[in-house]
């Protein structure tokens, strides 16, 4: 029943977004985000606790303000992702800063590339923007509500960007994509019960190891992406120079070294714009 | 390489699989015709195995060749090609 209600709520929200001009739709979605912040008190409590634990707010009042602004931001992210063609087709809307070594990987059709990010800014827009160079496969966990998941998939602009499931029964799936010269896009800031314990804002957090292992095993180049909103429907996409971790023979140590670097890049982005991060996820569970 | 060489590689490979695997199973029963998929590895867990295989045998496998393998015997054959 809950899934049914969620589905129709999502459909109504999409209908209203379709009927409004983009700027108004973005404001409307931001308002819906604030409404969600007010209504979902368990998630709100998690978000405030996370902001305080990360040390990006001095006190609870500031943490509450950041959490509310972040909820508004997430509402806007949904609209921007659905109307991404308007942003991607306008060169003034995305200012990209791509180092030369990463650019060389993007323009080489034979070269696979691992692009890592977190639930910061508009991460999905980053993937869609990069698909102008080569196909991009975003690894994701399907939503808990299959109806909403199908709806979201049907509304995602296609271009060269597609989502693929995190757990694939074909063991060679990710290796094959990289071997075919595609971009594999991953997010590393969700709790992973079988992940590695790596500090995130100084506290141990179970972190997905896939990006690190792919870099070590496929020897595919690795970069971290940040796509921050600088104005309504306008973004700055920054990729780091290639991250390289030589293999030492100690798998756990190699993985941890890479994940520490990735987390450090994400922390840097969050400290700069804490109101563009998804704080409602239970990141620290120990 | 002769049959005893392949047999030795298979034995060492079994040990790596046993140490890398998340699931419990009868690793001594793993035969050349056993498929990788049937061993319970998916697109994520296989990466741990490949790292450990490369370290054990001192080789750097080409991912494009690895994805073509479907059975344990094919991995043994690949390791033989790399001079393991």
For B10-68, write each residue's pLDDT tens digit: 999 999 998 887 777 888 889 999 998 888 888 888 899 999 999 999 999 998 899 89
The larger pLDDT score, comparing residue A13 to residue B69, is at B69
Record: contact A171-B22, CB cut-off 8 A: no
What's the pLDDT score for residue A157?
A: 60
Which residue from A225, A207, A204, A283 is spatially nearest to A94, judged by alpha carbons? A225
List strand residue ranges (DSSP E) for chain A, in order.
94-97, 113-117, 136-140, 161-165, 183-187, 196-200, 203-207, 222-231, 234-239
Q: Does B54 touch chain A (CB under 8 A)?
A: yes
What's the pLDDT score for residue A262?
A: 98
Alpha helices in chain B (DSSP H): 3-20, 45-57, 63-66, 72-81
A114–chain B nearest CA distance, Å: 14
Residue of A nearest to B54 (CA): A217
What's the pLDDT score for residue A152?
A: 74
- Of A10-14, A108-112, A123-127, give the lowest mean pLDDT range: A10-14
Record: contact A251-B60, CB cut-off 8 A: no
Inter-residue contact A29 to A79 (CB < 8 Å):
yes
- Of A14-23, A25-34, A179-188, A206-215, give the lowest mean pLDDT range: A14-23
Whether the pLDDT of residue A153 is over 90: the answer is no
Task: Give A-chain residues touching B52 at CB under 8 angstroms.
Answer: 251
Task: Give A-chain residues touching B67 at CB under 8 angstroms.
Answer: 172, 175-176, 179
b/e per residue A68-92 (b: at least 16 CB within 10 A): bbbbbbbbbbbbbbbbbeebbeeee
Whether the pLDDT of residue A114 is over 60: the answer is yes
Record: contact A213-B22, CB cut-off 8 A: no
Look up residue B3 and give its two tokens: 């049959």
Whether the pLDDT of residue A207 is over 90: the answer is yes
The larger pLDDT score, comparing residue A144 to residue A93, is at A93
What's the pLDDT score for residue A198?
A: 96
Residues 207 to 236 of A: which have CB under 8 A from any B CB? 209-210, 213-214, 216-219
């Amino acid at each position: 029943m809950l899934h049914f209600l969620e589905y129709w709520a999502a459909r109504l929200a999409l209908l209203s977004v379709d009927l409004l001009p983009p700027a108004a739709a973005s404001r409307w979605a931001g308002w819906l985000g604030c409404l969600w912040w007010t209504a979902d008190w368990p998630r709100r409590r998690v978000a405030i606790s996370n902001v305080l634990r990360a040390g990006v707010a001095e006190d609870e009042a500031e943490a509450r303000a950041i959490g509310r602004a972040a909820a508004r931001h997430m509402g806007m992210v949904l609209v921007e992702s659905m109307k991404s063609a308007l942003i991607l087709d306008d060169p003034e809307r995305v200012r990209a800063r791509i180092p030369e070594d990463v650019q060389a990987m993007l323009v080489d059709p034979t070269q696979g590339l691992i692009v890592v990010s977190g639930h910061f800014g508009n991460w999905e827009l980053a993937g869609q923007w990069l698909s102008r160079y080569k196909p991009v496969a975003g690894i994701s966990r399907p939503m808990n509500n299959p109806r909403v998941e199908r709806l979201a998939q049907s509304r995602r602009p296609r271009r060269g960007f597609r989502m693929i499931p995190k757990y694939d029964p074909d063991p060679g799936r990710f290796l094959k994509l990289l071997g075919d010269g595609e971009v594999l896009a991953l997010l590393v800031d969700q709790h992973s019960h079988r992940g590695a314990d790596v500090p995130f804002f100084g506290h141990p957090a179970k972190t997905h190891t896939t990006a690190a292992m792919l870099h070590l095993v496929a020897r595919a180049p690795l970069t971290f992406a940040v796509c921050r909103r600088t104005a309504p429907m306008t973004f700055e996409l920054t990729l780091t120079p290639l991250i390289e971790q030589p293999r030492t023979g100690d798998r756990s140590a190699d993985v941890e070294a890479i994940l520490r670097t990735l987390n450090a890049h994400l922390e840097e982005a969050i400290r700069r714009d804490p109101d563009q991060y998804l704080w409602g996820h239970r990141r620290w569970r120990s | 390489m002769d049959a005893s060489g392949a047999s030795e590689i298979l034995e060492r490979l079994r040990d790596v699989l046993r140490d890398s695997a998340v699931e419990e199973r009868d690793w001594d029963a793993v035969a050349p015709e056993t498929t990788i998929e049937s061993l319970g590895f998916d697109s994520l867990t296989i990466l741990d195995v490949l790292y450990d295989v490369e370290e054990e045998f001192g080789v750097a496998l080409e991912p494009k060749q690895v994805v073509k393998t479907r059975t344990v015997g094919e991995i043994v054959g690949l390791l033989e090609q790399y001079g393991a």
